[in-house]
Chains A and B, each alone.
Chain A
């Protein structure tokens, strides 16, 4: 199976690899997947307290090229969005953008889960209900 150029690009030059300080109240961390399943994504967002806009996003992923590309793309899309806008990111958007084949759709699902988990963590830290 050949990878799409976009997957190869994100894999070769991943955007926003790194770690944010998870002890900060304006940082939300989502850790999804499982080592036994062959993919684990950790996605973090840092929210501007005054504007509610995601000013930074970072990821680290253990997984195949499509999983790495999905999380890299997710961090790119998150930056500049409000938390509510970020919730609208659908896994099928990722599938379309990266031209993921059917066997790799679960990578996009995992990225969407990671976004939701990071937002949930941010919300609970700030006295809001988890999503």
Chain B
């Protein structure tokens, strides 16, 4: 057999299909970072010696790489420790900065906890927050969004792509509605940047949070994009100190992390298009094959969706039990309560109107740059086998097959 044929058939285990949780770092990113730990260790804020200059130069370059990916100006990039901090800075920072204008924020129920819990905090401070429901496909209703705006509204915070179901919100239309009413638009684009084209000018974004470790960069570094003109947006710093990052985020810059973030952005800019074609083809193959199983349901809109994500409920089997059938070799995640600290099933899936039973039965597949077709074939086979095996073991499946109305049974909730 020829060598390339052998390589093609080689299956690499374990398979990582949880790229929405975090991505492996691209070796090219690590290579770019390495000199900045020992050799070029300077503080980018040290203005008076070469150690500082070298670090500052590296940060400036990375900031350009980051800005280029989203069509921003490097001065508009505020480096943070990640997307959670950027979400906090955006929402709390706008709430404080624009207190004279109003105290009302509009967001939606399927946002990441970093946005939802920050909004809860705003409510404790006396602010008003509207949590928009989503439609059955996960998209926000634009009419409802517009009619929720009041003369006190200062910010609309709607995510770009959802982490659990991959649904992409109509960001451009949302920003148009916001601006029509003189309201700022913030988007948590953690899952979208580096995966699909995100352009802060075309999309009309005023503030945007994103993170390096979701796009093959290092953990512990992210950014908040803050628009500098039309309009000039300002946020009140939430971390006081040396006045770094144009006074919006103090703290010595994480130079190797930022260098890695920059490199990750550059690679995404170069490879996103090809990755999208490859990943969406594999994702669709996986989805189509798994949908051959009876009583399986894709969660969320499939037309407006991140190319690497799909979320499927396999009715009558429980997600954690399902993962146990293959989690030695395949890493995915589930909306099942058993996998969460709160013992509640996924609030995102529930927001789509799914019953708790379907939320418990869901798996999220997140493909990534290093996913191979052989891994997808293996996953299809393993998931199908396990679903079938567990259904043979499921009393609910037996009842369904016998035509028993499971919803009519009076279950003892525990």
Contact = CB atoms under 8 A, between A and B. Distances in A.
Contacts of B356: 35-38
A85 interface: no
Contacts of A35: 355-357, 360, 396, 406, 411
B414 A67 contact: no
B275 interface: no
Contacts of B360: 35-36, 38
Nearest to B391: A62
Interface in A1-49: 3, 8, 11, 14, 17, 19, 31-42
Interface in B51-81: none
Interface in B372-414: 392-398, 406, 411-414
B30 interface: no
Contacts of B338: 38, 63-64
B320, B321, B360 — most chain A CB neighbours (10 Å): B321
Nearest to A43: B395
A78 to B, nearest CB: 17
A112 to B, nearest CB: 12
Interface centre among A11, A41, A63 (most CB of B within 10 A): A63
B394 A64 contact: no
B398 A19 contact: yes
A17 B398 CA distance: 12
Contacts of A32: 412, 414
A68 interface: yes
B318 A38 contact: yes
A38 B345 contact: yes
Interface residues of B, number: 29
A80 interface: no
Contacts of B412: 32-34
B324 interface: yes
B318 A110 contact: no
B310 interface: no
B324 A17 contact: no
Given A34-B411, A37-B414, A64 B398 contact: no
Contacts of A8: 324
A62 B317 contact: yes
A36 B411 contact: yes
Interface string B88-100: 0000000000000
A63 B411 CA distance: 15
Interface string A61-74: 11111011000000
Contacts of A14: 393
Given A19-B398, A34-B414, A64 B320 contact: yes
B411 A62 contact: no
A60 interface: yes
A60 B393 CA distance: 5
Interface in A47-102: 60-65, 67-68
Contacts of A61: 393-395
Given A17-B392, A65-B321, 15 more contacts: A14-B393, A33-B411, A34-B413, A34-B414, A35-B355, A35-B360, A35-B396, A36-B355, A36-B411, A37-B414, A38-B336, A40-B394, A60-B398, A64-B336, A106-B414
Interface of A: 3, 8, 11, 14, 17, 19, 31-42, 60-65, 67-68, 103, 106, 109-110
- The 6 nearest A-B residue pairs measured at CB: A34-B411, A36-B356, A35-B357, A42-B395, A64-B320, A65-B324
11 contacts: A11-B321, A35-B406, A37-B337, A37-B414, A40-B394, A61-B395, A62-B318, A63-B318, A65-B320, A65-B321, A106-B414
